[in-house]
Structure 1
Amino acid sequence: MKVKQARITAEREKEICDLVVLLASRAANGKVTWAQLEKATGFTRQALSAREQIAETYQCINGTKKTMVSTEQKLDELEAKLAKKEAECRRLSETLAEYDRKYVRWLYNATIANLTVDQLNAPLPESMKTISRKGNKK
């Protein structure tokens, strides 16, 4: 005897949409597959994807929904990105200039203190912590 398949009603469609969100939140990568939905609901992928609300929820969760972006919107986004990068470039240039001024000041002070290049390039001494660690290993 053939078992009659249940239909996707409006209430059931809402439940399935909520289930899509729930399964995605539980997934490690935040996405859900049609196979997971088929297993959880008992409906086929074709039946589920035929319902517009379920398919839209699935696409939004998985980031597969294609949206049309106008050229003005793209241009605005690119101009905003450009302004942000220019501001970052100015900030980094100012930081680099400050480092250059600091280097010149340090070089002058080191020269006045009769420090040689070898003394300036000498490695930092080991900390007390490192010395005590080495002592414990022996």
Structure 2
Amino acid sequence: MARNRHIKPEQVVTIVNAIHTWDRGAIAWDDVCKLAKPVLGYLPSRSGLSSHADIQAAFSARKKNLAQQPEGKMPSPGSLADASRMLAARDAEISALKKLVDEYRDKFDRWRYNAMLHNVTIDRLDAPLPQIARRK
């Protein structure tokens, strides 16, 4: 297997969508690697896939979601109209969350740039909050 192959952004999106739609029980990195093989044309390594933040986030979210999901099938909607309303509500929520994530990314980029201008180090940014001395 060749090392350090570049994964294109559209391939990352395809892999992330495959992770989000995973419905075969618990998910593992081996499963994600097998999912990615037809997309990439080779069997990638776990470290190669997890180095992409979007793939790592999708994997962690799906794994957490599957762990919290009760066993068995989820109840299906009573009618096609109910299903359509449920999907429309989820689509609206997803688009709102995507917009929020984009706003947070923009804000983070602005903060990172300003911190760099003022020579603020990562260690200083990651410093813990001070303890508050409270009276008893």
Shorter-chain TM-score above 0.5:
no
TM-score, with structure 1 as normaliser: 0.41
Higher relative contact order (CA 8 A, sep 6+): 2
TM-score, with structure 2 as normaliser: 0.41
Which has the larger Rg?
Answer: 1
